[in-house]
Structure 1
């Protein structure tokens, strides 16, 4: 038996009363709301709610006649839809701040080696979400509406409703933003030893099938948008496999790597 003492737990004595946890959670939620409100205020100044609507309408307007505009069927649609878009844009702009507040809330309960990889994951996850949304805005929507317009008969004047259009593209933003988190999920699964890299390679075929099933469910019924979601998910799965071994190594607990034979 070794005479050396076990290293002290760095989280020992850091426990806080339940009420203090609730107060900390309240403060972090307020900070999130303040950040979102500030982002909305900035976006309301420039480019403004109308400017945001014009921006997200660019993909469909590019495939509509110049004299045709989106219509607002509901009485209050011209007010509520720009406000809804402003809120969603404010949340996206403040996303890194919101994720930082989540990290700051859980950080006191993390070990040093866990803190070292938690913050980079938050940053990487935010970037992947932005990339997914940009991919929808600048590629998927243009190809999707071009594909759909080719099936519109010449006797039909396509004048989409702005409310249904915004709801459709917001659902695509959410779907792609979440789908682009595949590498994060894969690396965390390997890091916490729920699966191994060898198992992930074995499950590759199942994931490809699952990707196309998910794409068929969450995207509109056109081939372009379904392929645009399923193919990146498969590529991101491969990126997750490549990065999982490296991530598991750099995020390993140094104390867990100590050789027990050396302490005998």
Structure 2
């Protein structure tokens, strides 16, 4: 009986570990800051009465070690290859962590809910395309552009997102640096063409608005937050990634203006 009880406890421990490392991985994938990932893991582990949990979280991976009594220990390392910001799924996982505490969800129910969140479809392409266009036009207006400049920024934002969505649908594997350079180049050439045919009035304002959808605002903000929270390694990595994107966009815009 003691051996059976120990086996059941070990299986329960591994389920809890699978849940917390799955939630941590998903939070990292969808753009959460390091402190949020650590807090979520700790809260879920405390709810399921894990005696001790040790974690090490960075931007592209996490290490979780859980202890339940002296003889029950489980360790897992999870690599997170890429980050794709998805605020809806990020909010859904935050809501799941609250439900686990408030509604006392079982491990199996929480695991099932987590898989449903991760398997849920992303926003339809038309919403992304329209949002990109509206965002580009709005920032073009905020930068002081005329209605014609906003129209040019809207057209460029729509075409830019359609281009990115096409590459994603075709599973084209392009490095982030090259992709951002191509995006900046495409936007600049489109803005120049629209100005030449008389659509926009101020080229620089139209370009400034059109490149906004490519700006990694979430990564830059989270990098600063990680550094403030003392996660210097992850914060510097996020900031370096954001700065690299900024430079890539600038190279693309510069090439477009030269051409």
Q: Judge same fold: TM > 0.5, yes or no.
A: no
TM-score normalised to structure 2 length: 0.27
With CA pairs under 8 Å and 6+ residues apart, which has the higher RCO, 1 or 2?
1
Structure holding more strand per residue: 2
TM-score normalised to structure 1 length: 0.27
Greater Rg by CA: 1
